[in-house]
Amino acid sequence: MNSQPKYIIVGAGLAGLTCAYELLKRGEKDFLILESRDRVGGRILTRNGIDFGATWFQGHHQHVHRLCRELGIAQFPQYSQGQSILVYSSMAPAHHFENDPSATPASRITDGTSALIKALADQLTDHITLNTKVASVHEVQGKLKVATNQGNYSSDKMVITVPPLIATIIHYEPALPAAVVTAMENTHTWMSNAIKLGMTFRKPFWRDSGLSGMIIGQNGPVTELYDHSNAEDSKYALMGFVNEALRDFSEEDRKRRILDYLSKHLGQEVLEYLSYEVKDWSEDWHTSCESIKSFYMSPQYGDPVFHETYLDNTLIFSGAETSPTYGGYMDGAIHSGMIAASKLTD
């Protein structure tokens, strides 16, 4: 790998890969992506057909739609037919309701969200270095000296696409302005506190009972659940979010509580699962850290300080949390990657 690329992109998640993809479209090939994980994708992770990270997007998320069209990535609507379940109190019966048939459902990516990552990464193979964690960035006379666990690099400019809170771990010289550091420390990392559940089945038994597979209830072991079957409707699954209070229980006790809850509302057939997996993002130190906070409303993203450049115009921030539009969403990550590429080359 070139140790002196013109540009360095830190992070091979959706923002970083989009930035690199946009550079290629501009005819720029002298860049390197440094990724601390042993895989690309960041907070996009599909295993056994289950999206354990970013999953849905809406009609107004035009950057996602545009990128999917360019890369030939198919999409399909989230399954929502049948009755959904609202559990608003453990002391009262669950409320069954019909979804609005006129509402436009959210969309999912065929073959899982990681299909979008793979389509981007396949064009960038020669530019990606995995298992490489940036320790420090030192600006000297308009050039950047970058120290990592895999050696040192130098570049003209750098884009940092990792979550701002994680980016505080990097040592910057000269030091970043206090307002920037404060913003980085106070920006919630999307998914950092989430626990996601995925289960697969031989058949969609909930549909046979007239259910959509959706369960909403903040007080139960599972706060949200959805039908997560594939686009071809040949593999059947449920996916959702586990109540963070269960983080304090043993894995065995947590699983028992989840299955008891789901069997109560969906039926005993939920116990006949083919696979059961939980992904606790708070244990993923590429995304999370000890100072995570729980958010049940959308946090504020796109702080104006992230729209400026630093270290004598050599350092650019990007990523879902920095985007001026749809922060925290895939659309925001893509938009921020596009903006970063423009700042590098314009």
Pair 9, 161: CB distance under 8 Å:
yes
How many independent structural domains does the chain possess? 2
Q: What is the pLDDT of residue 292?
A: 57
Same domain for 331 and 213, yes or no, is no
Nearest to 223 by CA among 179, 186, 262, 181: 262
pLDDT of residue 92: 80
| Domain of residue 89, CATH code | 3.90.660.10
Domain boundary among 257, 283, 309: 283
Residue 293 has a pLDDT of 56
Give the integer Cα–Cα distance in Å for 58 and 124: 27
Q: Which residues of 166-185 are buried (b: 16+ CB within 10 A; e: fewer)?
A: bbbebebeeebeeebbebbe
| H helix or E strand, kind and range, residue 167 | helix 164-167
For 208, the token pair is 């046979």
Ramachandran category for residue 59: left, alpha or beta (phi over 0 → left; psi -120 to 50 → alpha) = alpha
Residue 62 is assigned to a structural domain of this protein:
no
Show the low-confidence residues of the chain (pLDDT under 70). 1, 290-298
Contact (Cβ atoms closer than 8 angstroms) between residue 251 and residue 259:
no
Domain region containing 169:
7-48+116-190+290-345
* Pair 81, 169 in one domain: no
Model pLDDT, residue 224? 97
**Segment 78-125, tens digit of pLDDT:** 999 999 999 988 778 899 999 888 788 899 999 999 999 999 999 999
pLDDT at 294: 56
Enter the pTM of the model.
Answer: 0.95
pLDDT at 346: 85
